[in-house]
Every structure is written in structure tokens, then in C-alpha cells.
Structure 1
């Protein structure tokens, strides 16, 4: 399984944008399609909300890739 560490720049990132920013898809629209297909899990459960707020400490999985979300350094 591949692991990606993602550092937040704010309090949260929308799920479809996280997929794009982590390099798992080419656009936010493609991210929405992945979520709609049921292929994306958040903390082990299938997530169907395309713009779900993903916060530090959560793990997003797509196929054999896990994205671990960490808090940013802050201002």
C-alpha cells in the first residue's frame, strides 16, 4: 500500500479537492466522479459526500493508496 502525507493549509480540505491535490486525479470534477463511484473511503468507511470536510488526523483511501492528513504549520 502506498502512503501519501498531506499537510493542510487551513482547518479542512474538501474531499474532491484533496484527491486532486494529492495527485490521485486530474481535477476536482474527476475527484467528484471518484467519490460518486463509491471508490473513496474516509477512516475506513465509504464516503459519498463529494465535498466532505477532511480534517487533520483523517485517512482517505482510494484503491491501494492512503492519504494521511496532517495539520499544517500555521501562520
Structure 2
């Protein structure tokens, strides 16, 4: 399932995105998921917990897809 996620400002950090979108319950869970290689950004595994993500990028995690869009 693909879900749009509005980004306030220029970017959102990957760990914050996973938590804000409700895909993980805590920052610790987000860090563990990224470290385990379970998160992909634009189709590639992402290992940086605090990677800066911008509108237009796609994040895949546990069967969920988030498409980042600029907040209007």
C-alpha cells in the first residue's frame, strides 16, 4: 500500500519519519529497523538512521510504501 506523507520544511530524518508515520513504536525501533537493513529509500537499502529525506522520495518498510510530498 502506498501512502503519501507530507514533509514540513525541507526534509525529515528517516528515524523520525518511521515513527511519525506509525510504522514503528519508538525511535529505538526505528534505529533497529534501519540497522537491520529493513528500510529502503528509493529502492535501495538505507543504513543511515538520520538520513535526510525530501519530497519526491519513496520509503519502503515491512510492506508499506511512503511517498514524501511537500506540505502545502
Give the shorter-chain TM-score range: over 0.9
The ranges of structure 1 where at least 4 consecutive aligned residues each deviate by more than 4 angstroms after the TM superposition are none
1:12 maps to: 11
Q: Which runs of 5+ in 1 are unaligned?
A: none
Deviations 1:31-54 (A, max 9, x none): 111100000000000000000001
CA contact (8 A) 1:12 1:55 kept: yes
Q: Which residue of 1 aligns with 2:58?
A: 59
Tell me the C-alpha RMSD between the 2 structures.
0.7
Q: Which residue does the alignment assign to 2:49?
A: 50
- Once the two structures are overlaid, the 10-residue window that deviates more, 22-31 or 52-61, is 22-31
TM-score, length of structure 2 as denominator length: 0.95
Q: Provide the TM-score with structure 1 as the length reference.
A: 0.92
Deviations 1:13-62 (A, max 9, x none): 00000000111001122111110000000000000000000100000000
Deviation at 1:63, TM superposition (A): 2.1
